[in-house]
Amino acid sequence: KKRIFSGAQPSGSVTLGNYLGAIKNWVELQDEYDCIYCIVDLHALTVRQDPKVFRERCYSFLAQYLACGLDPEKSVIYFQSHVSAHAELAWILNCYTYVGELSRMTQFKEKAKKHRDNINAGLFTYPVLMAADILLFKTDLVPVGEDQKQHIELTRDIAVRFNNLYGEVFKIPEAYIPKVGARIMSLQDPTKKMSKSDENENSYILVLDSPDLIMKKFKKAVTDSEAVVRYDEVAKPGISNLMNIYAAMTGRSFEEIEREFDGQGYGAFKKAVAEAVIEGLKPIREKYEELMADKGYLESVIKNGAARAENIASETLKEVYDRIGLVPLP
């Protein structure tokens, strides 16, 4: 079986972008692949977190993972901070990654612009920790949204570089990006991707948002003044984004959507998009409530997942230390 690894940061709650770009596919891949899904809490520390809020959010994030359909009976589901090999391999890989490479990462450039008062070294080396996450598990495929493509390419470069020096230690992973939904845009600024850490709550839909709130957010979504439902990412980024969301939720093609809303205003279209999203997310919200009421179950998932991930990760780390020439503990 081929191995899949992916993760999301508990830097906010799961958005529709995270769901359509990543988590929905993770769920579908569970039967066919050997899947490992991490909650990358260490990555979330690159922006300032309040300890109490953060801990609660991490539990909630796990419940959201499970509510979306990730199944601990099928996949390894765990917190990054519970497996120390992530941080340890990241240090090693830092020594095989160039500052020039990291300077070219668009995520760093964007986040540095947004958090001018906290451009910390972690934000800069974020892609190295991500490379460690992936390489620790000898991953074949990394299902992610479009925005993470550049980081996967860097991961491959680092892995190849290391293997050229020390022999075939790492598997060279490939990005696995969905055809529809790989890049959901902000509802308030459709030239920017939807992000859970956006300060404007109207810019994103959360999988746990109430039906009323979802309807309200879609009604406020920025569009254009043409009043024709037509796909054109450049001239009509807002409408094109809503079409993407509708397509991903209903399986309909852009042509079908254009026909469906021919001659209708944006009001009717926005309402239909909101309804499709409300309907699609409903089971997730219900499952979430159940899960949050059972802390004992969540804790058993956390413990079990950490042990299984630790087993695999520590093997790879040992191999890396050995190849580099670090002295083994006698």
Confirm whether residue 9 is marked as ligand binding: yes
Phi first, then psi: what are they for 225, rounded to 5°? Answer: -105, 10
Nearer of residues 183 and 270 to ligand ATP, judged by Cβ:
183
Confirm whether residue 11 is marked as ligand binding: yes
Shortest gap between Cβ of 190 and ligand ATP (angstroms)? Answer: 11
For the purposes of burial, counting CB atoms within 10 Å of the CB of 258, is it exposed (0-12), middle (13-18) or buried (19 or more)? Answer: middle
Question: Is 111 a catalytic site residue?
Answer: yes
Let me know: does 314 contact 85? Beta carbons within 8 Å.
Answer: yes
Question: Is 196 a catalytic site residue?
Answer: yes
Question: Measuring CA to CA, how many Å separate 20 from each of 32, 102, 246, 274?
Answer: 19, 27, 11, 15
Nearer of residues 193 and 236 to ligand ATP, judged by Cβ:
193
Residues 6+ apart with CB under 8 A from 204: 15, 16, 17, 186, 187, 194, 195, 196, 198, 217
Confirm whether residue 147 is marked as ligand binding: yes
Nearer of residues 22 and 277 to ligand ATP, judged by Cβ:
22
Confirm whether residue 133 is marked as ligand binding: yes
Shortest gap between Cβ of 168 and ligand ATP (angstroms)? Answer: 27
Nearer of residues 162 and 241 to ligand ATP, judged by Cβ:
241
Shortest gap between Cβ of 277 and ligand ATP (angstroms)? Answer: 14
Indicate which residue of 138, 179, 192, 196 is catalytic. Answer: 196
Residues 6+ apart with CB under 8 A from 74: 30, 31, 35
| Residue whose entry in the numeric block shows the structure tokens 């999203």 | 277
For residues 329 and 74, what is the distance between their CA atoms, to the nearest angstrom? 35
List contacts with ligand ATP (CB under 6 A): 8-9, 11-12, 15, 17-18, 21-22, 144-145, 147-148, 182-184, 193-197
- Helix (H, G, I), strand (E, B), or coil: what is residue 325? coil
| CB closest to ligand ATP, residue no | 21
For residues 148 and 35, what is the distance between their CA atoms, to the nearest angstrom? 18
Question: Is 192 a catalytic site residue?
Answer: no
Confirm whether residue 194 is marked as ligand binding: yes
Can you say which residues are annotated as belonging to the binding site for ATP? 9-11, 17-18, 145-147, 184, 193-197
Annotated binding site for L-tryptophan: 133
Give binding residues as ranges.
9-11, 17-18, 133, 145-147, 184, 193-197
Active site residues: 111, 193, 196
